[in-house]
Chains A and B, each alone.
Chain A
Amino acid sequence: MPTALPTLKRQQSPLADAAYQRELLEQGSERLRELPRFSARLAESGLSPLRPLALQVLQVNVGKRCNQTCKHCHVDAGPERDEQMDRPTFAACLDALRRFGVDTLDVTGGAPEMNPHFRWFVEQARPLVRQLLVRCNLTILVAGKRFLELPAFYRAQRVHVVSSLPYYEAKFTDRQRGEGVFERSLKALRLLNAEGYAQPGTGLELDLVYNPAGAFLPASQAALEADFKRELKSRHGIDFDRLYVLTNLPISRFLEYLERSGNLEDYLERLVSAYNPAAAEGVMCRTTLSVGWDGTLYDCDFNQMLELGLVPDTPQHIRDFDPAALARRAIRTGQHCYGCTAGAGSSCGGETVR
């Protein structure tokens, strides 16, 4: 198992408290208070209040337990986190899919595979959606006997695998995700390629996700994808389909890193200065709905971690899922939203400005 760093919760850091994080981002210092409010920038762009478009993705966070404790993690996931979605809540998710239908189910965590109901959920959900994504951290596939059958399981269920790999070299990857993660990730990628992922004619999709290993914005998705394809193939014989490029949002452990390294104000100012109205128009919260491990609904996974629930008079729990009612809501925003609207934009599917 890769070397695990302690979670904010285990460190009893004040940043383990969502309210503390929200306060820090909005009012934490004079420089932060002087930044234009995100809601004001949206209004200037003619996007206030921010409303959903047609729902395309139900993103279900099945728990905060993870075999890694990556430095940038906005979930503050780790091995000792015990928040896990239970069977009744999974059943409520399936019921919502059966009743209303959604194009894509996106299963995330923590390491979703560590939830004891994970495989059952994927088997039950697969026939209900056109596309089923699993956010797989790769090392879980080589983390022990219990997980060895997962590549074959993914193939059988035709799961679309989406995995983080901050760089095609060990130095940058391990610095962010823990010692030994890069080598274990390569091992896992080879297993997936061997099952047919990213191989011609199989239709089995394997995408990678890049995020910067520090307090800077990502480079262009096209440029990085070309680098990753060239280097992973030539150095390691590994194939993948697409690279998504994500901006680090100032939440949980990345927020803690920004504060500790003295980069918080500069980074927020950078995000603000890079605000792009075109990216704001295409933010993922307009087409994605997030479900927490306890079934609570959120506008996105980031709002979930900041415990910013949906606005009142809107269904609050997956058992009350009602797309028509949800479509009428205003999306809740905060200063952290500048992360999704910087430059070419950022989402779970990469850049949002096409």
Chain B
Amino acid sequence: MSQSGKTYYDPADLKKFSQISEFGETLGRKFFDWYAEVFKEGALTQREKSLIALAVAHAVQCAYCIDAYTTDSLEKGANEEQMMEAVHVAAAIRGGASLVHSVQMMNKAKSLGM
């Protein structure tokens, strides 16, 4: 919370997500229909999808998503250890994405050097 008492994120706004359709009904409906379909049990279980969502939420650092998928992961039967491992996967990919580009840096450095 900032010193002024105001904050960019209000946890209560998460519940209002569906209201975005107010500013665009067709696209909103298409998004939420697709979203619901994505999270149905399929080739992956709902728990697996929830843990993936949790990991991605950390990768993109969406506070709303982190709240939503922490609850959802617990409600799909994941435990704290599994959830933290999922976050580490996200962290490893984010870290790895930076580090793998260092191959390019190394290539460049070697091309410039004697």
Contact = CB atoms under 8 A, between A and B. Distances in A.
Interface stretch (B21-29, B70-78, B91-99): B70-78
B47 A223 contact: yes
Contacts of B71: 216
Contact of A223 (B74, B77, B80): B77
A188 to B, nearest CB: 23
A55 B96 CA distance: 62
A219 B79 contact: no
B11 to A, nearest CB: 9
Contacts of B74: 212, 214, 216
Q: Interface of chain B, helix or strand or loop or mixed?
A: helix
A269 B71 CA distance: 14
Given A212-B74, A214-B74, A216-B74, A169 B79 contact: yes
B101 to A, nearest CB: 39
A217 B80 CA distance: 15
Interface residues on B, range: 10 to 19
Interface string A130-167: 00000000000000000000000000000000000001
Contacts of A27: none
Contact of B45 (A172, A217, A223): A223
Interface string B28-43: 0000000000000000
B1 to A, nearest CB: 15
Contacts of A216: 71, 74-75
A320 interface: no
A143 B114 CA distance: 78
A346 to B, nearest CB: 13
A124 interface: no
Contacts of A219: 47, 75-77
A327 interface: no
Nearest to B72: A216
Contacts of A172: 79
Contacts of A171: 80
A220 B78 CA distance: 11
Q: Which of B47, B76, B77, B80 has the most CB of A within 10 A?
A: B77
A227 interface: yes
Interface of A: 167, 169, 171-172, 212, 214, 216-220, 223-224, 227, 269
23 contacts: A167-B79, A169-B79, A171-B80, A172-B79, A212-B74, A212-B75, A214-B74, A216-B71, A216-B74, A216-B75, A217-B75, A218-B77, A219-B47, A219-B75, A219-B77, A220-B76, A220-B77, A223-B45, A223-B47, A223-B76, A223-B77, A227-B77, A269-B15
Interface of B: 15, 45, 47, 71, 74-77, 79-80
Given A172-B79, A214-B74, 6 more contacts: A169-B79, A212-B75, A216-B71, A219-B76, A223-B76, A227-B77
| The 10 nearest A-B residue pairs measured at CB | A219-B77, A216-B74, A217-B75, A216-B75, A219-B76, A223-B77, A224-B77, A216-B71, A219-B75, A227-B77
